[in-house]
């Protein structure tokens, strides 16, 4: 399983709880779309996750920014995943960001609002926030490999499914 989180906004730790904590601890890979805020939060994620791929966000300290890129691309289960915290231009900007990287899936954060959008040749995923909802539900995403890509679910902290979706790989 692949756990996807964003927008931790913590001074002290990973702020994981409930199903989100279970998912991160059980995941083979954890993807974080930025805004840890401090090195303590980033280090706590490294301790909780077997394998962490992350980008920095706009609220991260200079020390976190020095340790993480602002964008990254990884291959998971035949799906090319491009990650960034935010991109100017909303969905259009995110889709262009993904296309420039040959991605099937773009993961972003920043809005704290969980959502999935189909942009034609790329799927846009914002897992929401697991720690600072700002009027939105507390959420994360879980991805499972399939024969032709990934099957995903955005889940609340109690495990309730908010939205299910799929991403086909190009390989």
Pick the CATH number of 2-168 from 3.40.50.2000, 3.40.50.2300, 3.60.21.10, 3.10.580.10: 3.60.21.10
**pLDDT (tens place) for every residue of the chain, 171 residues total:** 999 999 999 999 999 999 999 999 999 999 999 999 999 999 999 999 989 999 999 999 999 999 999 999 999 999 999 999 999 999 999 999 999 999 999 999 999 999 999 999 999 999 999 998 888 999 999 999 999 999 999 999 999 999 999 999 875
Rounded CA gap, 68 and 53, in Å?
9
So what's the pLDDT on residue 171? 57
Which residue in 113, 104, 107, 38 sits closest to 68, CA to CA?
38
The alpha carbon torsion through 91, 132, 101, 76 (nearest 10 deg) reads -120
Query: The pTM is what?
Result: 0.96
CA distance 23 to 12: 20
Query: Distance (Å, rounded) from C-alpha 58 to C-alpha 7?
Result: 10
Instruction: Spell out the domain ranges in the chain.
Output: 2-168
């Amino acid at each position: 399983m692949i756990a996807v989180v964003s927008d931790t906004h913590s001074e002290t730790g990973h702020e994981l709880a409930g199903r989100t904590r279970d998912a991160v601890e059980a995941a083979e890979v954890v993807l974080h779309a930025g805004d840890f805020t401090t090195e303590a939060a980033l280090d706590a994620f490294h301790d909780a996750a077997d394998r962490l791929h992350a980008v920095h966000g706009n609220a991260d300290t200079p020390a976190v920014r020095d340790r993480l890129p602002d964008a990254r691309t990884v291959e998971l289960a035949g799906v090319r995943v491009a990650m960034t915290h935010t991109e100017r231009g909303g969905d259009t900007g995110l889709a262009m960001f993904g296309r420039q990287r040959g991605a099937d899936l773009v993961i972003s954060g920043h809005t704290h609002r969980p959502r999935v959008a189909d942009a034609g040749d790329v799927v846009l995923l914002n897992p929401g926030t697991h720690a600072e909802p700002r009027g939105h539900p507390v959420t994360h995403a879980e991805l499972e490999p399939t024969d032709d890509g990934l099957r995903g679910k955005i889940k609340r902290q109690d495990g309730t499914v908010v939205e299910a979706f799929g991403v086909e790989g190009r390989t």
